[in-house]
Every structure is written in structure tokens, then in C-alpha cells.
Amino acid sequence: MKRSVLGVGAMIAVAAVSCSKNDTTDLVPVAPEVAIVNVLAQNAVAQEDTLLFKVKASQGSTFAWAVDGKDAAVTDSVFKFVSTGLGEHKITVTAVQNGQKTSAQETITVHGKYKFGTFILNEGNMTTENGSLTFISPRGVVTDSAYFKANGTQLGNVAQDLFIRNNKIYIISQNGKKNATGAAFENDGLLIVANAETLKKEAAYNDELKTLSWPTHVAVLNEQNVIIRDNNGLSRFNTVTKELTLIKGSRSANKMTMAVSNNKIFAAAGTKVYVIEADKDSISYALDMKASVSGVVKASDGNIWVSTTGSPSKISKINYRDYSLIKANDITTGSLSAGFGATPGITAKGDTLYFSGAGTKIYRHVFSVNTTEFMVDAKTMVENANVVYNNIAVHPVTGEVYLNTMKGYGGNYLFNSISVFNFSNGAVLSANYKDYTNFPAGTFFTYSFN
């Protein structure tokens, strides 16, 4: 019995020593677990926009946030990231517990404020003010006078058209540094080239383009082939050599937006569509539509939509390779006219086209099934929609249709709207931005230039 008691006692002693060793091990500090939660699930953001991050870590931890290795002076579990610096940024959070540290990291790309969104180019009052640029972000935030805010200088007098190519935005004005009466104006001139993401000016051209007569439109293939339309026709401007060359046979080019597809430019010219190719001194082809052309627009498959007015009016689809007719649909409801404006009488997203005849009544045409239907009269939803200034435009991503209207001329142009219609389920006015335009020359979506 004694041996048995002693054996049990020995076992108890060993167990006690074993427990003591385990207790000592448990007292060694353990590094906290930590992870970053990207609340909005976005790894890219525009300048000045905000991304929200939260830290998920072991209970009892304290936190420190850093951006690109620099202390952000934030110790909360939530971090709001806002940056004006372009490029990649590393967001780091360090959790500390019992003297032990663990870090987690997230990489974010910041792009220019104006990389994605919608531009409204304003002519301005031709005798008293310069052109301007209004920007609407994908979130619906409006930046008025965006070019001026980026540069501290103005666009030319009567800004007419813009084009985005290779991360550069090209903006043409009708009068440049003089207004309609010939008076000198302080601005950056006829053709301005800026960074498409930041709107920071990279170049301005005036004397190089002095032979142009009231230029109205611009389309770009590359830096050596900036095509400008004016009263003389179409000219090729080489921004490297500063050489301006009139393209032979292009004199009749309409005062209308040009379409670019597969390194070719398609321009309306009376009853024809001119084709311009890089480095050519004359038009490459003149497609006869046998009716007045009211719009030339790039289709999503690279082919070309052409609208014509007449009896009947038509929407045609043209092969961009050999310029053959793919199909033409008669339009007997609504008007395909471009009106007095300088933008196309049609606008397209995929197989669906919209038109309003430069009026407030908007129509939708589905090309594949050849159906046309009335969608809405903007006057029933938009206050002071008395004058439609230039034509409607459909967003290439959302499918929403943008319409610019104003109360009238004189001082009444200051009462205006940029109206956004969603036709996915009936007719809904999804947004209405009031009093931002000054004779809008057109609506331009950055996504259309991809």
C-alpha cells in the first residue's frame, strides 16, 4: 500500500511540474492577427475621392495607419483614404498587442479626377465670355469650369468640340483669342491639348492655325494627324512639326462631329460621308448616301451609323472596311434632323439608337428589329425646357440619355438643365443638374473614346 501511495504522489508531482511548464509557455506574448477590409471593394479611385478601410484585428490591439510608408496620424479602426497624387499607393495598418506588432497592406491606384465621367463643353456667350468645361463624375458630382480650376486660364472663345486620344484631350474653339466682334480675349487659344486625366494644359496652338476660318470640330488619329474642320474643309495638323495641311476634296465637310474607327475618320459632307486616313493629303473615299447626312457615329462593333433626312429618313449601318451598306432602316416616326446644332442627329449604344430632331421629344430605335417608339417629351419633366441646345447623347455604359435645355436666349440661357433620362423601365428622370451650362456645344463621355 505504501508503494502505491508513493507512486500516486510521484505522478501528482510530475503532473504539477508539467502544468507549471505549460503556464510559463502561455505567458509568452503572441503577435496579433490583422487584416484590412476594403469597405467599398475598390482598388482604384479618382483624385480627391474617398475610399474607406477598416481593420480586423485581435481584440485589445491598437492601430497605426500609414500611406506609402509615412505615418497617416490615424489610430482609429477606420481609415479614410483621399489622395491627389496619381499612381499606386500602399495602405498599411499595424496592429500592436502586448508589445508585438503585425502589419497588413493594400495597394490602391489613384487616377486623374477626369479620367472617367461626362464632359459638357460650353461655348459661352460669344461676345462676352470664353468657353468652359463642366464635368460630371460617375457618382454624379459636378465640377464647374473644370479646365479653369485645373489651369487658372480659360478655354478659347466659343469652344466647339473635344476629342480624347492617348490620354490627351484636344479642345477646339471657333474664335480662339478673339470674340465674335474681333475684340481680343484673354484665353489659351484655338486648339488646346491637355492631360485627359488632370486637364493640365500641355500645349496651346494659335499662330500655327491662323489660316483656319472659324474651326468647329476636331478628331485625332495620332499627334501627326489631328484633323480639324473649318469653313475651308478638313485640315491635318501635325502637332510635332506644327504643319497644317488642307486635305484635298474636303471643302464641303459639314459643321458636325466626326466619327473615328479603326484609324479612319468619317465626316459628314452634304449627301456624302468622307473617309480620311492618316498621312493622306486627300480624302480616301466619298460614300454617297443620296440624301442629306444628319449624323455619323461609330457603332460598338467598329462599323458606322449614318442618319439621313428625306422621304423617308433612314438610319444606315456602313461597313468600315469597304464602306458597303450593311443594312438601312426607314424612320417614319420622329425626326433625324440635327437642327442648327453641331452634333449628330443620332446617338447609339449597341443596337439601340436615340434621336430627338433637336427637340424635347425623344425617340428610341432598335436597329436589329427595326422598331421605333416615342419615349418622352422632356417638357413634361424638366422645368424651363424651352430650347434644346445641340443634340441628345446616350451614355455608352449606363444607357442613360443626356439632354441639354435652357429657358431661352438673352439672359434666360442662365436658366438651364443637364437632364438624364433612364429608359430601362419606362421614362425616369434619373438626374437633373441645373444652371451649369453656357450654350452647351455637346455632351462627351470619356468611355466613348476607349
Query: pLDDT (tens digit, 9 = 90+) per residue, 321-363?
Result: 999 999 999 999 999 999 988 999 999 999 999 999 999 999 9
What is the tens place of the pLDDT at every residue in 297-323? 999 999 999 999 999 999 999 999 999
Q: According to the model, what pLDDT value does residue 27 have?
A: 62
Residues 125-181: pLDDT tens digits? 989 999 999 999 999 999 999 999 999 999 999 999 999 999 999 999 999 999 888
pLDDT for residue 216: 97
Question: Domain spans of the chain?
Answer: 34-111, 334-433
What is the percentage of the chain residues whose pLDDT exceeds 90? 89
pTM recorded for the entire structure: 0.90
Q: Does domain 34-111 have CATH number 2.60.40.10?
A: yes
Per-residue pLDDT tens over the stretch 181-205? 889 999 999 999 999 999 999 999 9
Q: Residue 214 in contact with residue 190, Cβ under 8 Å?
A: no
User: According to the model, what pLDDT value does residue 26 have?
Assistant: 54
pLDDT of residue 3: 37
Residue 226 Cα to chain centre, angstroms: 20
Res. 15: pLDDT tops 50: no
Residue-level pLDDT at 262: 95
What's the pLDDT score for residue 24? 45
Tell me the mean pLDDT in the region 411-432.
Answer: 95
Quickly state the pLDDT bin for 4 (edges 50, 70, 90): very low
